[in-house]
Amino acid sequence: MALSFEILKKLGKSRTGKIVTKRGVIETPNFMPVGSKGAVKGISVPLLEEAGAQIILCNTFHLYLRPSSKTIEKLGGIHKFIGWEKPILTDSGGFQAFSLAPLKKITEEGIKFSSPIDGQKINLTPELAIKIQEELGVDIAMVLDHLSPGNSSKKEQEYAVKRTTRWALRCKKALKNKDISIFGIVQGGVFENLRELSAKELIDIGFDGYAAGGFCVGEEKESFRKTASFTAELLPEDKPKYLMGVGKPLDLVEGVLWGYDLFDCVLPTRNARNGQLFTSKGKITIKRAEFKEDFSSLDDQCNCYTCKNLSKGYLNHLFRVKDPTYIILATIHNITFYLNLMKEIRNAIQNGTLEDIYMKIKENYQEN
């Protein structure tokens, strides 16, 4: 097994732990900044490390299309290619093929689609998804799963669950590199009995960790909460539990309360670019006129470069004149905020004060 997982402290369903890989330790619960195409948008590797990132997520679909996994392999693998020496997890590309590719067709063999870049016909099979991740040389690979929209019928979701199991088995058989760990992905939409079936079948196959996928794809928020919480309890206690594509600050705290260990989301980077900044007192839309002559720091509870050295007025100015420096400074802060929140959560589990964090985030981010 390429990774080990140890639980250090439990508080209800929440837990702190550590995932040990050959490229470093990931303290859990943890948030993975998203660098789909080989870079976390708006922030360099040294700044990511300064913010406290211990693992990042890259994407099989995007890197296979450009520059190609074979090119990255020739250039020394994904870690050398992007200059990041710590662990990397890669999404299998199933979600992107499902959501981005035109003219897609899902068959038992795989996901057939036309490249959105040059129209090339591609058949993303479970075997190809694993081959790409092996060529990249990642630390944690995800199986290729069949994602069905959140509003799909129970029959459609059951079909997706069964195919996800068959594809997961093919992925595990295809993985030859023993230095790479592999996670299974539980599907089933908002149907608890299907989530139960998916989890059982994946556990029977046996993986290094387990993810809850197929959320935030059109289902109601309360259905997400209910089903994501239920799914966490289905997963083995001695393995990392990963809630995919989530989320907002309140989602992260709730996810930890449900028992999840890993999270990823594009919100901190995307929202930074769009002018929305996360702070200890809630969200700020920095382009608003009220900040034009505001000389206070963005967040007096934050220790990032932006908050220690610059004012809201300066960030407001940079955003308004469309200076790319704004994106760097805003992304530094949002990523730091997310990683600091996870650190606070880990400390709160150790100290028995997680409920305090939950109430504070709920008060400041109650629109979630």
d(CA 186, CA 165): 9
Given the residues 139, 264, 299, 356, the one annotated as active site = 264
Partnered with residue 276 across adjacent β-strands are 285
How is the beta sheet containing 88-91 ordered, strand by strand? 30-33, 262-265, 241-243, 209-212, 181-186, 140-142, 88-91, 56-59
Residue of 91, 139, 145, 261 with catalytic role: 91
Q: Is 91 a catalytic residue?
A: yes
- 311, 314, 315, 316: CA torsion to nearest 10: 120
Measured distance CA(346)–CA(226) in Å, rounded: 23
C-alpha–C-alpha distance, residues 63 and 305, integer Å = 31
Task: Give catalytic residue positions.
Answer: 91, 264
